Structure 1
Amino acid sequence: PRITRDPSLDVPPDFTDPVHAITVEAVMAKLGDTSDAAIAHLLAAWNTVHDRNVAAWEAQLARDEAQARADEEARLQDEAAANLRAQESAEAERVAEEKTKRKLPDMDENTVIGDYSEAQPPMHAREKLRKREFVPLDWFTPKRCAEALLVAPDTDKSLSFLQGEDGSFSLAPLAPKAHRDPIRPDNQLSWNEIGLLRPIYLRTLRSVGWPDRFITGYADLFMALDAHPIRGLKFGDEVVTRYLAEIRVDLHNKISDGQQIIYNIGIINESRL
């Protein structure tokens, strides 16, 4: 059992006091000795028990002190482990956050922005083209590209949920809503506008990773239609514009259908034209 008081503070009883007379006489009778000898015997017995109790008390104090040290060490270890976990978690969050940030380029202190910015369509149009999706040519006109220069990339990356035919959902960029003029289908563009957007469209095809054969095919198609004699006739420009529009729609339909081999878009079908 646990000792609840300090026995080292105890003092031996006064065996000369009459209250202990019966005890002293009993010891005298057992030992057959004098009163002083009996009292000395009783004091020795008390001291033996007292020393044993003091030793037990000191051992208990030592155990308590050792347990307190062990508890404090365990607490410090738990606290250190918790701090380490918190630091590791904070570092992991910092690393994850850093990964979401764009890497900043080095800044040359001796250069200035160029005289002009290269014309390019809005981010959502480039992303659709990167995914091999159909994008109206109107997005590549100088006017639309000039508008895109004033739209921050993050502003142009609004996303929406789209549900596929298999029921799955995916995120897709939303086209900006704030346009004064609606996007026109290809056949409503003038041939002059197509001539202006042509280098922008071909450059964008290359930048988003379209194969060279398609870029070459489109370049050949643009040049063949541009040089076609039918343009010298009345409504000739409308004819080549419509042909270009039909070719682009048909091409993307075949891409969507997963066809492995298609025709050379750079060769004009005179009958269809």
Structure 2
Amino acid sequence: MPRIASDPALDIEPDFTSATFEGIRNRIIGNTQLTHDEAANELATGWQQDRDIRLAAWTLQVNEETRLAAEAAQAERELLEQERVLLEQEAEKERRETEKKKPKINDFQAGASVGDTLTHRPSQYAIHKLKSFEYVELWYFSPDGCREAADEAKSAADSTFGFTKVDDFIALKPVAAFKPSRKVIQDHSLEWRQFDMAKNSFLLYMNKLKWPEKHQRAITMFFMNVVSHPQRSEPFGERALLLYAARVRRDWHDTLALDNAFDISVFNTTLLKNLAEEVWNKLRLESLTEFQLAMSSQGNGRESHTSSHRNQARSSTRPTRSRSRSPARNSSGRLPPRSSSPNRQRPRQDPKRPSQDKRPFQGGAASSGHHACALCLGRFAHNIHKCKSDLLWDNKTPTSCRRSAEGRLVNAQGLQLCYDWQRPNGCASTSKDHIHECSGCGNTDHGAQKCPRGQEV
């Protein structure tokens, strides 16, 4: 249907009785008997019918145009809405990116005072390890470890950074967060007091760093089982319990990483018994070694004593002078005081060599004069168990290790070395806690007694 230009309802009906339509009326009347009025009515009726048809068509046309206009308006509104949503999303994304770059600070409780006591803070390295659910030595949480961390924080440069992965991004963090301490002590070598204090701080920081409640309860029960175990009252029982705590906790972290971890709160009495036997075997070996060294020292002493008697016997067989020149006496009949002659001076002794007249206390392997000190590699007479020299026996070369405050040998990486490995008989243990590394040069194929840097016999 052709489009209607205007609303038919607005059309005005023509006057079909007027002279304008007389010709049309005559053609309608024709040979009929209709009058002009009847013809005019016929025309009016036809016009009305035509207007009704056009009015219906107009209504359909208007409705269709209205619908199309509404759809177009709706499409335009939807397009504008999509553009608005995209703009808002872009703005929100930019806001989040800006928030990520801004430093974060948590809220605080107004009016709340600081506590009566302050917790010692471990190093950034220990906190980073614990926050990453990785194994970290308990020493870092002990008072000694916290004090060492505080001293390092005062002296270390804060401008040294390293790369690390945070979520899906590479970030810079202070190197202190990745640097282990050289003074660290392995858990099984801690004193019981250090262990007891360190585990309390360790549990506190586990809670601060939002470890899962299940894991916190398990590790808390684990420490409670260790410190309250009746084995503590047995000889060297605490040493066995420390070894149990060290190995079980490390193995627990290893299995956590493999997603097949056990319940660390369940105490294994059989494992403790095996570890206690390992401790006793090590003590027996140490005692046997000390006994053998002591016997060797006594044997060398008897040989030296016999040689001295022989020298005295030889000197007694020499002829003596028949005349002796006695010094002149003064008027009182007394001998004049001796005066040291300027031409007869005693030879000066090399300070680097130990005195032969006043020998210092000797202990362990050094008593025989043949075994090298595990720290300075010297075979001269000195207390090898308390030697803290930072130079080798030649007084020139720096030592490869150092002696900790507890008297243990620690390498440059802060790991405690196996002392039995440095002895003449070596160490047959295959435990990963026994670090078989030469204390003199760091090689793993020999100990201090065979180190090429040691003093020759």
Question: So what's the TM-score if we normalise by structure 1?
Answer: 0.51
- Cα distance in 1 for residues equivalent to 2:109 and 2:215: 37
Contact kept, 8 Å, 2:130 with 2:206, in 1: the verdict is yes
What do the CA deviations read for 1:111-134 (whole angstroms, capped 9, x no partner)? 986654222312221121111111
CA RMSD of aligned residues (A): 4.0
From the superposition, tell whether residues 104 and 139 of structure 1 become closer, same or farther in structure 2 (CA, over 3 Å): same
Contact kept, 8 Å, 1:140 with 1:197, in 2: the verdict is yes
From the superposition, tell whether residues 106 and 240 of structure 1 become closer, same or farther in structure 2 (CA, over 3 Å): closer
- Cα distance in 1 for residues equivalent to 2:211 and 2:109: 31
- Cα distance in 2 for residues equivalent to 1:240 and 1:189: 11
Contact kept, 8 Å, 1:124 with 1:173, in 2: the verdict is no
- Cα distance in 2 for residues equivalent to 1:113 and 1:212: 26
CA drift of 1:99 comes to 4.2
Partner of 2:15 in structure 1?
none
* Larger proportion of helix: 1
- Cα distance in 2 for residues equivalent to 1:203 and 1:157: 29
SS in 2 for 1:143: helix
Q: Greater Rg, structure 1 or structure 2? A: 2
- Cα distance in 2 for residues equivalent to 1:211 and 1:113: 26
CA drift of 1:210 comes to 1.3
**Aligned ranges for residues 192-231 of structure 1 at < 5 Å?**
192-231=193-232
Count of aligned pairs between the two proteins: 172
CA drift of 1:243 comes to 0.3
From the superposition, tell whether residues 106 and 217 of structure 1 become closer, same or farther in structure 2 (CA, over 3 Å): closer
SS in 2 for 1:272: helix
- Cα distance in 2 for residues equivalent to 1:186 and 1:156: 29
Q: Note the residue ranges of structure 1 that are not aligned, 5 or more in a row.
A: 1-91, 164-168
**Aligned ranges for residues 34-183 of structure 1 at < 5 Å?**
99-101=101-103, 103=105, 115-149=116-150, 151=153, 158-161=160-163, 174-175=175-176, 182-183=183-184
Partner of 2:265 in structure 1?
266
What do the CA deviations read for 1:61-81 (whole angstroms, capped 9, x no partner)? xxxxxxxxxxxxxxxxxxxxx
Partner of 1:234 in structure 2?
235
From the superposition, tell whether residues 113 and 211 of structure 1 become closer, same or farther in structure 2 (CA, over 3 Å): closer
- Cα distance in 2 for residues equivalent to 1:172 and 1:106: 25
CA drift of 1:266 comes to 1.0
From the superposition, tell whether residues 231 and 142 of structure 1 become closer, same or farther in structure 2 (CA, over 3 Å): same
Q: Note the residue ranges of structure 2 that are not aligned, 5 or more in a row.
A: 1-93, 273-457
CA drift of 1:149 comes to 4.8
SS in 1 for 2:267: coil
Contact kept, 8 Å, 2:145 with 2:184, in 1: the verdict is no
- Cα distance in 2 for residues equivalent to 1:144 and 1:197: 9
CA drift of 1:103 comes to 4.1
Q: Which amino acid aligns with 1:191?
A: W
Contact kept, 8 Å, 1:136 with 1:185, in 2: the verdict is yes
More relative contact order, 1 or 2 (CA 8 Å, 6+ apart): 1
- Cα distance in 1 for residues equivalent to 2:108 and 2:220: 36
- Cα distance in 1 for residues equivalent to 2:199 and 2:139: 11
Question: So what's the TM-score if we normalise by structure 2?
Answer: 0.32
What do the CA deviations read for 1:163-216 (whole angstroms, capped 9, x no partner)? 9xxxxx88675347696x611111111122111112211111111121112211
SS in 2 for 1:127: helix
